[in-house]
């Protein structure tokens, strides 16, 4: 059995840390009674190795509050913070196809170059034959050489025509693949439920904004929003209603933003808002205005007209420090969000809020 094994530390200095983290992960799975599946193991391994700050943050929050660590929780953590393979599948397929097609075009051009070189050799030979001091009149030599050069020329023309058609077809394939590649890139960075940028898209935008902030000296604020008691919505009304709530909140955050900013869905019921050029106080005002906009929404069941309880959000804000990595900024904003939850929800807090 996997969980009966014990780490052997002698003779494996190079891989000792890997084994230590692996056995610690296996032990945690046993202690918390979760299924021995690869996603659950990956989350616990990441937790014990410390290579993902958000995984550690989420699990530490649950552990410190005595909340159970379940399969469902670990699967959600894995999907949010560790699983990037599924998003890149279409992108990888399209990239491979594009690489294959450009290779075919390169081969066709090489083949064309070889034919052109042979044709040049034939022309050179024809020229030498005409200038050589052979006995017999020139017209007889010309008559003997012309059929050969005419045949070579005709073959060259036919090959060029075929090559042109093949290149035209390949060019269209490349254009189509480029369109697919751009679509795959957009899809890999877009949340399908809300249409907002997903975690990958958020991180790409954050990287660009961080570089601009570093160069210009302008601040860059990050606000994290989390829907309050969202699990109760799913449990009471079902996941289709929960999905509708997610779409409504996403739409409210995006449409309610009156300043320059970029809204995305980090995963689950959590959204992020990047606010370039805003300091902590102004970002707090913007985030609180969006919180009030979400709270003011009236949600009802389409079939029965039954109104849902008001949906609220909590938010945490942090401003990027110079040279601060994205993971650190995200963790600080998440800590402020956690404080907002602990203080009663439906509020916005910053790391400086007393």
The pLDDT tens digits for 33-53 are 888 887 888 888 888 888 777
More confident residue, 24 or 305: 24
Provide the domain count of the chain: 3
Residue 309 and residue 226 share a domain:
yes
Residue 116 lies in a domain: yes
State pLDDT tens for residues 229-268.
998 888 888 888 889 999 999 999 999 998 999 999 998 8
Domain shared by 100 and 227, yes or no: no
Mean of per-residue pLDDT scores for the chain = 78
pLDDT at 14: 39
Select from 352, 194, 348 the least CA-distant residue to 264: 194
Crossing angle for the helix pair 38-49 and 71-81, nearest 10 degrees? 70
Residue 221 pLDDT grade (very low, low, confident, very high; cuts 50, 70, 90): very high
* Judgement on whether residues 124 and 15 belong to the same structural domain of the protein: no
Query: Does 326 lie in the same domain as 237?
Result: yes
pLDDT of residue 180: 65
172 compared with 72, residue with greater pLDDT = 72
DSSP run (H or E) holding 275: strand 270-276
For residues 244 and 231, what is the distance between their CA atoms, to the nearest angstrom?
A: 14
pLDDT at 286: 96
Between vectors from CA 87 to CA 84 and to CA 91, what angle results, nearest 5°?
120
Of 55, 83, 111, the residue that ends a domain is 83
| Whether residues 346 and 209 fall in one domain | yes
Nearest to 248 by CA among 190, 202, 300, 316: 300
User: What pLDDT sits at residue 165?
Assistant: 66
Map residue 323 onto helix, strand or coil: coil
Cα 331 vs. chain centroid, distance in angstroms?
20
- Do residue 236 and residue 341 come from a single domain? yes
Percent of the chain with pLDDT over 90: 32
The residue count for the chain = 354
Does residue 142 register a pLDDT over 80?
Answer: no
Q: Is 193 a domain residue?
A: no
The range of the structural domain enclosing residue 150 comes to: 88-188
Task: Answer yes or no: do 307 and 203 share one domain.
Answer: yes
**Which pLDDT belongs to residue 188?**
72
Q: Which residue has the higher pLDDT, 158 or 215?
A: 215
Q: 268 and 299 in one domain?
A: yes
pLDDT at 111: 62
């Amino acid at each position: 059995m996997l969980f009966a094994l014990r780490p052997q530390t002698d003779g494996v200095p190079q891989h000792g840390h890997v084994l230590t983290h692996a056995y610690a992960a296996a032990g945690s799975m046993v202690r918390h009674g979760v299924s021995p599946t690869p996603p659950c193991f990956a989350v616990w391994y990441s937790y014990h190795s410390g290579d993902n700050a958000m995984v550690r943050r989420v699990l530490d929050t649950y552990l410190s509050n005595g909340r159970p660590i379940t399969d469902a929780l670990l699967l959600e953590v894995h999907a949010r913070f560790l699983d990037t393979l599924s998003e890149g599948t279409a992108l990888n397929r399209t990239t491979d196809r594009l690489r294959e097609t450009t290779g075919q075009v390169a081969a066709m051009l090489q083949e064309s170059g070889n034919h052109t070189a042979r044709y040049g050799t034939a022309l050179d030979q024809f020229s030498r034959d005409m200038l050589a001091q052979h006995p017999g009149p020139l017209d007889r030599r010309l008559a003997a050489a012309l059929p050969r050069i005419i045949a070579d020329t005709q073959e060259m023309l036919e090959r060029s025509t075929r090559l042109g058609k093949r290149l035209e077809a390949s060019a269209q394939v490349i254009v189509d693949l480029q369109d697919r590649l751009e679509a795959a890139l957009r899809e890999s960075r877009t949340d399908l439920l809300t249409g907002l940028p997903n975690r990958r898209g958020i991180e790409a935008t954050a990287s660009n904004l961080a570089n601009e902030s570093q160069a210009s000296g302008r601040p860059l604020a990050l606000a994290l929003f989390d829907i309050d008691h969202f699990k109760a919505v799913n449990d009471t009304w079902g996941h289709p209603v929960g999905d509708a709530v997610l779409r409504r909140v996403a739409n409210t955050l995006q449409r309610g933003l009156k300043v320059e900013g970029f809204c995305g869905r980090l995963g689950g019921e959590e959204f992020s808002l990047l606010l370039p050029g805003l300091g902590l106080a102004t970002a707090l005002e913007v985030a609180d205005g969006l919180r009030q906009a979400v709270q003011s929404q009236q949600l009802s069941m389409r079939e029965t007209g039954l109104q849902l309880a008001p949906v609220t959000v909590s938010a945490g804000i942090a401003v990027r420090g110079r040279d601060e990595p994205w993971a650190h900024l995200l963790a600080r904003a998440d800590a402020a969000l956690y404080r907002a939850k602990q203080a009663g929800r439906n509020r916005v807090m910053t790391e400086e809020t007393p």
